[in-house]
Amino acid sequence: MTKFRHLIWMLIAAAGLILSVSQSYAQKPDVGDQPGLLPDDSVELDPEFRKTAVLYRTSEAPGTIIVVTAERHLYLVQGNGRALRYGIGVGREGFQWQGLVNITRKAEWPDWTPPPEMIARQPYLPRFMAGGPGNPLGARAMYLGGTVYRIHGTNAPETIGGRVSSGCIRMVNEDVMDLYGRVNVGTKVVVLPIERHADMRAHAAR
């Protein structure tokens, strides 16, 4: 009987520990963007997420940007079955989206004004931050339609290839500057849902 009671108490204690851990995870703050963090230039991207010329089949016109969220890749269609492929960071779970938009504005070393929804999640964020190396928007930004989303650089290059943002599409500064110079205001941007990524096929060009 004593052993049985001891076993019951052990089970209750274990259940309490599990509940405590799960609650601590549930209360874990949303770290999101980190203002003031200077990028680590020594970070090397995985080869999969480095800028690459690829063979790419699509019916979209040359100059179109296609974001394949599931792959964490952005394609700039070149025509003749080719594209430039860049590695990106995308929205974390609950912050991914899809749609057809256009670039409505471009900015070099953009200022950052976090939207109210982000401030609500991360009240410690600055209400405004001037552009510069420590700005989470990085070296360039391309604003997408009437949304709060952008294709932009980052001060955290180690996050490329991950699902880490609040919905924006991140690129390393070198890549976003390259893309910025290749596209204009009005450029069509197609953001594909997760379930459609298998429809696209890309291969490194030789």
Residues identified as active-site: 152, 168
C-alpha span between 82 and 202 (Å, rounded): 9
8 A C-beta contact, residue 131 and residue 111: yes
8 A C-beta contact, residue 35 and residue 134: yes
State the DSSP H helix or E strand holding residue 15, giving kind and residue range, or none if neither. helix 2-26
DSSP per-residue letters across 102-122: EEEEEEES--B---HHHHHH-
C-alpha distance from residue 123 to each of 12, 32, 61, 93, 201 (Å): 37, 11, 42, 20, 41
Please state, as a whole number, how many other Cβ atoms lie within 10 Å of the Cβ of residue 195.
Answer: 9
Q: How many residues does the chain have?
A: 206
8 A C-beta contact, residue 185 and residue 105: yes
Which residues have C-beta within 8 Å of that of residue 124, sequence separation ≥ 6?
none
